[in-house]
């Protein structure tokens, strides 16, 4: 019987789950070495079936670009709050979200979360004012909001988004191989992928109240999240065996995970692993995750290799737009 809810469910406890986050080297695959795609697909499948997170190295994105984007995040959040509030988060989930501006209501792990102790700036694809979707007012296809007095900020952020999207698209055939379909099979859902880029600032935290976090335990909603290495600790991951571990730093890497959209698409074969942030480092912490999803109207229906006679499809087919509307309601209320 198909599930009639969009709400995430916790991954079942697995006592045989690995204790470490796998590291995948993209170098041979990106060079086009013979056999590299299928070897990488096997490694990726193991990572997402057993951990839900993996590191990638030799990914092709220049460290200088990543450094400029972290600097852009610091520049943005250094502005006065009143200046940032001029571009406050809108119904398309683009713009500035102030400290304690969101509460993780959709979490399956904490029932009574307090507002998150972070602030963030969000953008999506940078559409022109005359784009048909903008003119039609389609949800999540509105204009980005940009600060007025940060020269070079927009250019640096969009350059990072282009590089992250290129990397994400390069990984899609690897996901296909991991799932036992032809390398190009999944690309039909990524002809014009949706994405959200978040520039987060986690202030130092002192004593916290119950159910209070820099970012409460949650699973992402995305198909794929790409997170550049962060030298400031604070991110923790709940392994499938139920144990929380701190995500280690790995210079030059990206930490990648799947979200609930990927989990539904694969009929729970690939994990949407929960994680949280507590900034007790003694310094300010910034993060620049890139959340990549399928095209706006593409309907994610259980893949043929993820269902069978004894493993029927658990979820109704769903489009990005439908799923994102649920996420907006559960996370932001009536924004």
pLDDT (tens digit per residue) in 47-88 = 999 999 999 999 999 999 999 999 999 999 999 999 999 999
Per the CB < 8 A criterion, the answer to whether 220 and 260 are in contact is: yes
Domain boundaries, the chain: 23-332
Q: Strand pairing partners for 3? A: 315
Confidence class for position 279, pLDDT limits 50, 70, 90: very high
pLDDT of 110: 55
Contacts 24+ apart (CB under 8 A), 142-147: 142/90, 142/91, 142/92, 142/94, 143/94, 144/94, 145/87, 145/90, 145/94, 145/95, 145/96, 146/87, 147/76, 147/79, 147/83, 147/84, 147/86, 147/87
**264 has a pLDDT exceeding 60:** yes
**291 has a pLDDT exceeding 90:** yes
Pick the more confident residue, 90 or 5. 90
Confidence class for position 330, pLDDT limits 50, 70, 90: low
pLDDT of 1: 36
Instruction: Quote the percentage of the chain above a pLDDT of 70.
Output: 90
pLDDT of 104: 76
Pick the more confident residue, 106 or 134. 134
Least confident of 216-220, 278-282, 308-312, 322-326: 322-326
**176 has a pLDDT exceeding 70:** yes
Confidence class for position 112, pLDDT limits 50, 70, 90: low
- pLDDT tens-digit map of 117-171: 999 999 999 999 999 999 999 999 999 999 999 999 999 999 999 999 999 999 9
The average confidence (pLDDT) of the chain is: 91
Q: Which fold has domain 23-332?
A: Jelly Rolls (2.60.120)
Distance separating alpha carbons of residues 104 and 275, to the nearest angstrom? 12
Tokens describing residue 2: 């198909």
Distance separating alpha carbons of residues 250 and 4, to the nearest angstrom? 40
pLDDT of 2: 43
| Residue with token string 């039609």 | 136
Q: What b/e readout covers 118-153, taking b as 16+ CB neighbours within 10 angstroms?
A: bbbbbbbbeeeeeeeeeeeeeebbbbbbbbeebeeb
């Amino acid at each position: 019987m198909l599930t009639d809810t969009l709400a995430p469910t916790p991954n079942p406890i697995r006592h045989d789950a690995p204790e470490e986050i796998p590291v995948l080297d993209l170098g041979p695959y990106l060079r086009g070495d013979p056999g590299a795609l299928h070897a990488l697909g096997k490694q990726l499948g193991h990572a997402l079936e057993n951990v839900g997170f993996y590191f990638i190295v030799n990914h092709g994105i220049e460290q200088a670009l990543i450094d400029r984007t972290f600097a852009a995040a610091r520049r943005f959040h250094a502005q006065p709050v009143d200046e940032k509030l001029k571009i406050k988060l809108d119904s398309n989930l683009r713009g500035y979200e102030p400290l304690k501006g969101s509460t993780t209501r959709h979490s399956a792990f904490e029932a009574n979360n307090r507002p998150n102790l972070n602030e963030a700036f969000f953008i999506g694809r940078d559409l022109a004012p005359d784009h048909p979707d903008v003119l039609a007012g389609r949800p999540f296809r509105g204009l980005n909001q940009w600060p007025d007095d940060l020269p070079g900020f927009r250019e640096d952020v969009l350059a990072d988004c282009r590089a992250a999207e290129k990397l994400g698209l390069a990984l899609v055939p690897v996901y296909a191989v991991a799932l036992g379909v032809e390398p190009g099979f999944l690309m039909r859902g990524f002809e014009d992928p949706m994405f959200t880029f978040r520039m987060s600032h986690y202030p130092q935290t002192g004593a916290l109240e119950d159910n209070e976090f820099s970012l409460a335990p949650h699973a992402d909603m995305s198909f794929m999240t790409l997170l550049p290495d962060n030298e400031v600790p604070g991110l923790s991951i709940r392994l499938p065996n139920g144990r929380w571990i701190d995500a280690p730093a790995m210079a030059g890497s990206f930490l990648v995970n799947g979200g609930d959209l990927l989990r539904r698409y694969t009929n729970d074969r690939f994990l949407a692993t929960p994680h949280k942030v507590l900034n007790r480092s003694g310094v300010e912490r910034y993060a620049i995750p890139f959340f990549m999803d399928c095209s706006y109207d593409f309907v994610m229906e259980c893949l043929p290799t993820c269902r069978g006679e004894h493993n029927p499809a658990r979820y109704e087919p769903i489009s990005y737009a439908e799923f994102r509307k649920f996420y907006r309601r559960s996370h932001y209320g009536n924004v």
